[in-house]
Amino acid sequence: MTKAENRAAAKAYQQEKLRRWQEEAHAAAVAADLEQLAALRKYLIFKAKVRIPHDDLLNAMDDYVERLTGNRRALHAQHQSIG
């Protein structure tokens, strides 16, 4: 392997390593956002002391989650079957 080929291979390796790191960081950030939104959604639905209409806020949260994950119902409760 020549010096130029070695440099090109090292540069390609570093770029791939950086791309993978950025993807992992983005996935972690999305997961953190979803966790916080799930907590807010649960609070609004079940624990809010003052009952105000929250449908618009929940719809906006669902729209945002859809943009992040492609699944509008990602924060909705997952039904479990017994048996």
Is residue 22 within 8 Å of residue 14, measured between CB atoms? Answer: no
Q: Which tokens is 40 given?
A: 């807010």
- How many angstroms separate the CA atoms of 83 and 72, rounded? 28
| Residue 7 vs residue 79, higher pLDDT | 7
pLDDT digits (tens, 9 = 90+) for 27-77: 999 899 889 988 888 888 777 777 777 788 888 888 888 888 888 887 776
From the number of C-beta atoms within 10 Å of its C-beta (0-12, 13-18, 19+), residue 75 rates as: buried
Q: Would you kindly state where each structural domain of the chain is located, as residue ranges? A: 3-69
Prediction pTM value: 0.66
What's the pLDDT band for 12 if we cut at 50, 70, 90? Answer: very high
Look at residue 74 in the predicted model and tell me its pLDDT. 79
